Amino acid sequence: MTESADGQYSKCVIKSFKHDGSLHRVWLENWQVPACRLHEGLDPRKAWVLINEHTTVQESNGREWSSRVPAVTYFLPERWYNVVALLEEVGVRYYCNLASPPYRYGDVLTYIDYDLDIVVLPDGTATELDRDEYDAHKASYRYGAAVEERIESELRALRADIGAGAFPFDDAAARFYYEQWKKQMNAEGGERAT
């Protein structure tokens, strides 16, 4: 992803892969929040914030669908998870993916999806998902002890961050990032201005 020097949002594609290198899912239109628009104290080297709204998503089998609600996604280059804040009418729902740290090249951001997820509902209830998928894939994809240990360690860290309400679990910040992006897109007559 290219960082805009003039404070403009930069467009990018997000691609997730499985451990064996096979494509898992692609989000075709996302916008990176420029460093000058991040909250004070947020280091742009330690958190990449991306926004999408009604973006086309391609599954590995070729099926396409559009996301239903605006999303603010936090990629943390030093962590083995990413967090998607889904801005729903009833509140913000967080979908947390256990995944490799992100890698970016040009306007493409990639990561490896490690199956385990945690969903945090607007009332704060956190639920782990897809443990069975993780267990099946760690054998079939041969994750290895180092990857398994890292995933379990990062899962504990993620649970602690959720419990503490630590970054990036901040509804107001997620809504702020979305609203400032929407305002900019409307002002520019951007592709996602409606």
**Is it the case that residue 166 has pLDDT exceeding 80?**
yes
DSSP string, 28-56: EEEEEPPGGGSPTT--TTT-EEEEESS-E
Task: Give me the pLDDT at residue 189, please.
Answer: 75
Q: What is the pLDDT of residues 51-87, one digit of tens each?
A: 999 999 999 999 999 999 999 999 999 999 999 999 9
**Is it the case that residue 5 has pLDDT exceeding 60?**
no
Task: Give me the pLDDT at residue 6, please.
Answer: 64
User: Which CA distances in Å does 70 have to 64, 84, 128, 160?
Assistant: 17, 10, 23, 26
28 pLDDT band, cuts 50/70/90, is: very high
Average pLDDT, the chain: 92
**Is it the case that residue 193 has pLDDT exceeding 50?**
no
Q: Which residue has the tokens 């692609």?
A: 26
27 pLDDT band, cuts 50/70/90, is: very high
C-alpha angle with apex 40: 37 to 44, nearest 5 degrees? 65
44 pLDDT band, cuts 50/70/90, is: confident
Give CA torsion, residues 170, 175, 177, 178, to 10 deg: 140
Per domain, the residue ranges of the chain are 10-172
Dist CA 143 CA 141 (whole Å) = 6
Q: What is the CATH code of the structural domain delimited by 10-172? A: 2.40.380.10
**Is it the case that residue 192 has pLDDT exceeding 70?**
no
- The residues annotated with a catalytic role in the active site are 25
8 pLDDT band, cuts 50/70/90, is: confident
Task: Give this prediction's pTM.
Answer: 0.92
